[in-house]
Structure 1
Amino acid sequence: MNQTASTIYIKEANFYLEVYLDPFNKRIRIDDYRGNTNLALEKAEELAREHQSEKLIMKARIEDTFSLYERGLQPEAVVDRYFLGSDAHFFSKFYTLERKKNEHWITENHMIQSIYQLDPPIDKPSPSKGYELKKATVNCAEELADLYRQVFQIYPTPLHDPEYVKKTMEEGTIYYVFFYQGKIVSAASAEVNSFYKNAELTDCATLKEHRKYGLMKIILIELEEELKRKGVYCSYSIARSLSFGMNAVLFQLGYKYRGRLMNNCYIYDKLENMNMWVKNLANC
């Protein structure tokens, strides 16, 4: 089976679907839809069976949620103001028992409670001496890919490939990086949806020996400021549910917890639950 993810657009007489096919993670995601919701869902499930997907995800509008319940989908997370100011409700349906099982759920619940006991949001920190923050260009693609290879043995998107990194930049994804002694040691990106005016902060990676300097907080703040300059105020990020550090960073930057996507994607060596964090940049 081809493991390359792709987006397809389906236009029928009574509905429209934008579908992200993700064979590597054995899932299908409905990123947008219009028209007859029941017919659109029918088609989405047909695609899930056709591609032998274990999980179907749909970014739904509040007025359509009853239709999703009726077809066996369940709510997992919310992104406030995703659709030009209207909330997106992430609903999912599982097609195998294994994909629905999880041993870490209670542990992850306790971790969220612990994170909410941390100190309140922080002011913008300053980088340590010797670190230089820059906006990445296509010339950085090779080195970015190398960073992601070092940090993530397995990752849900092919960031190990410099051509893929270049492609994301050409499609509007913004990367900021920290250089140390001329080498990229930390990076993150903002994947911008220019139509709905939202952005996902993602692809956060720092080499182990540089993680104690708070570089990621600085990068994420810089990405937020760039988004605001572009008129994008809905910012969200999806963090590994077992990563206390990354979830704590988002909380301390003012993000709010909005649910958990179960067995969502492969990172490191296994399927991971992912926590949803959301921030309204218009309030900053």
Structure 2
Amino acid sequence: MNQSASNIQIEESNFFLEVYLDPFNKRIRIDDYRGNTNLVLEKAEQLARHHQAEKLILKARSEDFLPLYEKGLQPEAVVDRYFIGSDAHFFSKFYTVERKKNDHWITEDGMIHSIYQLDTTIDKPYPPKEYELKKADETCAEELSGLYRQVFPIYPTPLHDPEYVKKTMKEGTIYYVFFYQGKIVSAASAEVNSFYKNAELTDCATLTEHRKYGLMKIILREIEGELKRQGIFCAYSIARSLSFGMNAVLFQLDYKYRGRLMNNCYIYDKLENMNMWVKNLAKC
């Protein structure tokens, strides 16, 4: 895979595919499909071979669960109510031995167990008045990119580029940030799927010296409020499986663990497993 990331649509007489080609992470993701599931899968595998992908991901509907199992795909995670109220099952297929190997799985299982023992009733007070919460706009793009460069040496999407940040804003991604002495010190976003009425809470980053005030919890709650106002109740987030702090934040905000995506993307400093967390905003 040697071109930049792109979304493509393939429409043939018996099926339709919406594909995300992701050369940086050496993977292909099928975000949507209709029609003959066998032909959909054939085409997806053909694309994976053509682009020399190491991993294929398919967001499947519940009724296709067993047929995909039969075809050798592996279920990794679930997002409740992803498709306008119907569950999405994230299936994967691996194409190299290395991509299927992982040394951290047992450690990460232990971390999930530890997180589920945490007290969810303890809530930190609002941070000192020097911290100001705002919805970000395009004028923040340069500084947002700077924050992501500082926190993540490697990131699965080009957030290090301010133009990419502006592009995501134009496409409907919501960003909220905390300013401290005029500088952005914490941020997160929601990638909104307005057709299927779901949103991925993502791009969570806080500078180390500002992590003691629970800024991320406050930002995510603010984003959730905006999503509810838009009539979006399916919220999910994919967190680095080795990051105790981020997984703990999601658990304490009442997200439920829904599986782990193995060797999913290059983030922080290497190829990492990612935990899926899901919340039904209609219940809060």
Q: Is the 8 A contact 1:20 1:29 kept in 2?
A: yes
Instruction: Report how far residue 229 of structure 1 moved.
Output: 0.4
Instruction: Report how far residue 129 of structure 1 moved.
Output: 2.4
Runs of 4 or more above 4 Å deviation: 121-125
| Alignment CA distance shift 1:35-1:177 (3 Å) | same
Separation in 2 of the partners of 1:2 and 1:108? 32
The corresponding residue for 2:21 is 21
The corresponding residue for 2:118 is 118
The corresponding residue for 1:68 is 68
1:103 partner amino acid: D
Separation in 1 of the partners of 2:183 and 2:6? 31
Separation in 2 of the partners of 1:83 and 1:151? 32
The corresponding residue for 2:202 is 202
The alignment partner of 1:264 has SS state of strand
1:117-143 CA-to-partner distances (Å, cap 9, x unmatched) read 000255584222200000000110011
Deviates more, 1:60-69 or 1:258-267: 60-69
Separation in 2 of the partners of 1:219 and 1:235? 14
The corresponding residue for 1:189 is 189
The corresponding residue for 2:83 is 83
Normalization by structure 1: what TM-score?
A: 0.98
Separation in 1 of the partners of 2:121 and 2:59? 28
The corresponding residue for 2:144 is 144
Q: How many pairs align?
A: 284
Instruction: Report how far residue 212 of structure 1 moved.
Output: 1.1
Q: Is the 8 A contact 1:261 1:273 kept in 2?
A: yes
| Alignment CA distance shift 1:251-1:223 (3 Å) | same
Separation in 1 of the partners of 2:121 and 2:165? 31
The alignment partner of 2:232 has SS state of coil
The corresponding residue for 1:178 is 178
| Alignment CA distance shift 1:122-1:282 (3 Å) | farther
The corresponding residue for 1:166 is 166
Separation in 2 of the partners of 1:243 and 1:145? 21
Deviates more, 1:55-64 or 1:118-127: 118-127
Q: Is the 8 A contact 2:6 2:20 kept in 1?
A: yes
Separation in 2 of the partners of 1:222 and 1:74? 35
Unaligned 5+ runs, structure 2: none
Q: Is the 8 A contact 2:177 2:184 kept in 1?
A: yes
Deviates more, 1:249-258 or 1:68-77: 68-77
The corresponding residue for 1:127 is 127
Q: Is the 8 A contact 2:126 2:213 kept in 1?
A: no
The alignment partner of 2:109 has SS state of helix
Q: Is the 8 A contact 1:121 1:254 kept in 2?
A: no
1:54 partner amino acid: E
2:104 partner amino acid: H
The alignment partner of 1:34 has SS state of strand
Separation in 2 of the partners of 1:51 and 1:187? 33
The corresponding residue for 2:57 is 57
1:259 aligns with 2:259: yes
Normalization by structure 2: what TM-score?
A: 0.98
Instruction: Report how far residue 2 of structure 1 moved.
Output: 3.5
The alignment partner of 1:134 has SS state of strand
2:138 partner amino acid: V
1:229 aligns with 2:195: no
The corresponding residue for 1:32 is 32
Identity of aligned residues (%): 85
Q: Is the 8 A contact 1:100 1:263 kept in 2?
A: yes
1:90 partner amino acid: F
Q: Is the 8 A contact 1:255 1:278 kept in 2?
A: yes
Separation in 2 of the partners of 1:225 and 1:123? 18
The corresponding residue for 1:246 is 246
